[in-house]
Amino acid sequence: MPKAPDARKIAFLGDYLPRKCGIATFTTDLRGAVAAAFPRMQCLAVPVNDLAGGYDYPAEVRFEIAEQDLPSYLRAADFLNITDVDVVCVQHEFGIYGGPAGSHLLALLRELRMPIVTTLHTILREPNAEQRRVMRDLTRLSTRLVVMTGRGHELLREVYAVPEAKIDLIPHGIPDMPFADPNYFKDEFGVAGRQVMLTFGLLSPNKGIEHALRALPELIREFPNLVYIVLGQTHPNLLREEGEAYRLGLERLAKDLGVQKHVVFFNRFVELEELMRFIGAADIYLTPYLTEAQITSGTLAYAFGNGNAVVSTPYWHAAELLADGRGKLVPFRDSGAITTAVRELLHDEPVRHAIRKQAYLLGRDMVWSRVAQLYGKSFEQARHDHNFVGRRSSPIKTLDEQPGQLPELKLDHLFRLSDSTGIFQHASFTVPNFAEGYCTDDNARALVLALMLQQLGHGSPRLGAQAATYAAFLNHAFDRAHGRFRNFMSFERRWLEEAGSEDCHGHALWALGLCVGQTGMGSLQMLAAQLFEQALPVAAEFTSPRAWACTLVGIDEYLRRFSGDRRASHIREALTAKLMQRYADAASEEWHWFEEVASYANAKLPHALILSGRCLNDTPMIETGLKALRWLMKVQTSDAGSLRPIGSNGFYRRGQERALFDQQPIEAQATVSACIEAYHATGDLLWVAEARRAFEWFLGRNDLGLALYDATTGGCRDGLHMDRVSQNQGAESTLAFLLALAEMQALQNTLSSFKEPAGK
């Protein structure tokens, strides 16, 4: 009998049943197996919720994490530390944690005092930059790493340089079922006397079911009693985004092929006991997945370990598990090869049963009771390694060490100002002022905000619908005959001009570029790409530096997706050259600026240079932007050390007194954005402090000590006057605050998740 671990309390972190996904099933089964193997050990669960209301969890769930809410990860770390957990067992998959590439998890792990054992369900051979950063820190923060295949062990060492001594190879667990003849289970499903092929798991296009269907016509001619069961509901994420389009397409394909009488779709998530009976009824288990980069498949482990004859494409887990004749491997996307492999197994019953028996015997090392013992050894080794290295410092932090608290996101006033046309320009107090109508400037900013919030995980059906409305406004505002955006529209939906300002055009390009650069290429992105392409050329002839700056930000976002667009790249080079020349012409030893006057949205100019300089690898451009931003921050600092934006009541002309009031929210927001970009360019935490100082202008750290942000409405007052704040809460000011809040939240996420600054 193996020695029981000394650990008294283990916390299992990951998705958890009744959430319907493979990681949830694994975490639940692993926790149950460990609890059964070590009855004196307390095994609690800490699940991650993808739904606002969470799930109806069982009693072992002690704390819940909201997937996209970074503070809830930090609260979970506090809970685990305070409740004296001995080991945290993490299930890692990029798609289940919040932040870029799931980086919110790192913020939690960094705060833990106990050893961490991380099971890696996905190990990418060619990660993108964000995924590589997450894996780098995840492997560093974890005391031990569990992989389920030899290929995973190899990738950890070769791609991520993880020391071999830190890696444990533990197979995917499976239920312990008796070896039985498939005919024993077939009556239950109405397939007695028929040959049964089975595929199960959450349905999505990467499963390759269409190739299995195309193999059926020829098989059915030889085996007229053959039936193919596809078991599992559509993946919840796919269901939310596309509905049942993939499943319906498969059903149409089956009918077109004339095999509909031989195909059964079970569109539901089955519990373990029923699943094992389905596996028991199968003569052949089939996984026609489309790509090799799958390091672990729980469905394959279940089927193989419980004695199925398996036909599979050679993704990494299958290639390893089915090697040496333990199953049949077929090329990707090859229906003919599937036909041949299945035919051979159905014709040669002795060979099929020999493969089944061999798989079942090998599967005895994969049963959960055995796997639990191996995890127990890993937990004990992690405690030894952790104690040898030394415990981490206390999680108690001084106020200076803690990230500053940000206001809770509240979109009430944004929605109040918006209707089915777009967002209204102005408000009388908090009431939309219909008489002032709409403008493209504000609708562009509103679209930027909606896209940023979606990237942060704050998306909602209402916000998504409103984003489409803001995009529709931009589409209507664009005059294709002249290549320009109109700006002002009356409440009666009449345009009040033939062409808007250059700045308005720049704001629209900023929003459209951001839309194009987002993940995915849905209808909104396609519309944005078309508009951006049509609206960009005229920007090369603009004379407004702020229009150049906004256009450059939009181009940067656009080129994230279409980096080979030569015209966009050439226009970026031309506009950055113009900004650099403006600075060279206007700047002096005392006046580090682009013009004879510092007027409005000032920080957007250095922001654009720093951003473009990073993308172009142009150090002089970055340094020019930083020099101008340092000068602007000095000019915008009061004697008390608070942000004092240049007032719109006169601005600041060279050699004259600068205007102290009226201070506008757009100045604070532009300053926040520029300081964050400076941090990303330099890694200097001074710029983080400057961004925070600029943001706190909204909250009352200003000349009058009065908050412009209204926590009761979620809106922002229009400006800071000499003796008061404006009581009107219009679109520009409200959007300025919400954009600054979103940018600060994204920055805080990065700082909490990664110790080192991010590169571009």
In a domain, 74, yes or no: yes
Among 400, 420, 442, where does a domain finish?
400
Give the long-range contacts of residues 322-326, CB within 8 A, separation 24 or more: 325/355, 326/355, 326/358, 326/359, 326/362
Q: For residue 171, what is the DSSP state?
A: P
- Banded pLDDT at 391 (limits 50, 70, 90): very low
Q: For residue 97, what is the DSSP state?
A: S
In a domain, 178, yes or no: no
Instruction: Map tokens 């049509």 to a residue.
Output: 534
Read off the tokens for 585. Answer: 């012409």
**670 in the same domain as 537:** yes
In a domain, 760, yes or no: no
**348 in the same domain as 224:** yes
CA angle (6, 378, 323) in 5-degree steps = 150
Residues 455 and 447: beta-carbon distance below 8 Å: no
CA angle (506, 512, 518) in 5-degree steps = 135
**211 in the same domain as 168:** no
**372 in the same domain as 361:** no
In a domain, 614, yes or no: yes
Q: What's the one-letter identity of residue 17?
A: L
Read off the tokens for 483. Answer: 């290549």
In a domain, 299, yes or no: yes
**490 in the same domain as 379:** no
Is the pLDDT confidence value at 534 over 90? yes
**690 in the same domain as 609:** yes
Name, in order, each residue with C-beta under 8 angstroms of 756's C-beta and a sequence gap of 6 or more: 683
Give the bridge partners for 146, in sequence order: 119, 168
- Cα–Cα distances (Å) from 469 to 475, 503, 716, in that order, read 10, 21, 22
**584 in the same domain as 558:** yes
Is the pLDDT confidence value at 570 over 50? yes
| pLDDT score recorded for residue 2 | 56
pLDDT digits (tens, 9 = 90+) for 131-171: 999 999 999 999 999 999 999 999 999 999 999 999 999 99
* Average pLDDT for 209-237: 94
User: Residue 453: which of 100, 97, 739 has the closest Cα?
Assistant: 739
* Average pLDDT for 689-718: 97
Span between the terminal Cα atoms of the chain, in Å: 53
| pLDDT score recorded for residue 288 | 96
pLDDT digits (tens, 9 = 90+) for 108-122: 999 999 999 999 999
| pLDDT score recorded for residue 165 | 96
**247 in the same domain as 205:** yes
Is the pLDDT confidence value at 755 over 70? no
The larger pLDDT score, comparing residue 272 to residue 751, is at: 751
* Average pLDDT for 648-655: 96
**134 in the same domain as 57:** yes
In a domain, 647, yes or no: yes
Whole-angstrom distance, CA of residue 477 vs CA of residue 474 = 5
In a domain, 499, yes or no: yes
Handedness of CA 400, 405, 406, 407 (dihedral sign): negative
- Which residue range(s) make up the domain with 528? 412-753
SS3 602: coil
Name, in order, each residue with C-beta under 8 angstroms of 393's C-beta and a sequence gap of 6 or more: none
Name, in order, each residue with C-beta under 8 angstroms of 654's C-beta and a sequence gap of 6 or more: 591, 593, 596, 597
Across the chain, mean pLDDT equals: 93
Domains: count for the chain: 3
| pLDDT score recorded for residue 460 | 86
**385 in the same domain as 439:** no
In a domain, 197, yes or no: yes
Burial (0-12, 13-18, 19+ Cβ within 10 Å), 668 = buried
Residue 34: CB atoms within 10 A of its CB come to 23
**169 in the same domain as 242:** no
| pLDDT score recorded for residue 759 | 41
| pLDDT score recorded for residue 344 | 96
| CA-derived radius of gyration, the chain | 30
pTM for this one? 0.82
| Minimum mean pLDDT range among 384-398, 446-460, 519-533, 598-612 | 384-398
CATH number of the domain to which 484 belongs? 1.50.10.10
Listing DSSP states for 514-574 in one string gives HHHHSSS--HHHHHHHHHHHHHSGGGGG---HHHHHHHHHHHHHHHHH-TT-HHHHHHHHH
Is the pLDDT confidence value at 582 over 80? yes
Residue 602: CB atoms within 10 A of its CB come to 30
**622 in the same domain as 703:** yes
pLDDT digits (tens, 9 = 90+) for 29-67: 999 999 999 999 999 999 999 988 899 999 999 999 999
| pLDDT score recorded for residue 758 | 41
| pLDDT score recorded for residue 30 | 98
* Average pLDDT for 319-326: 95
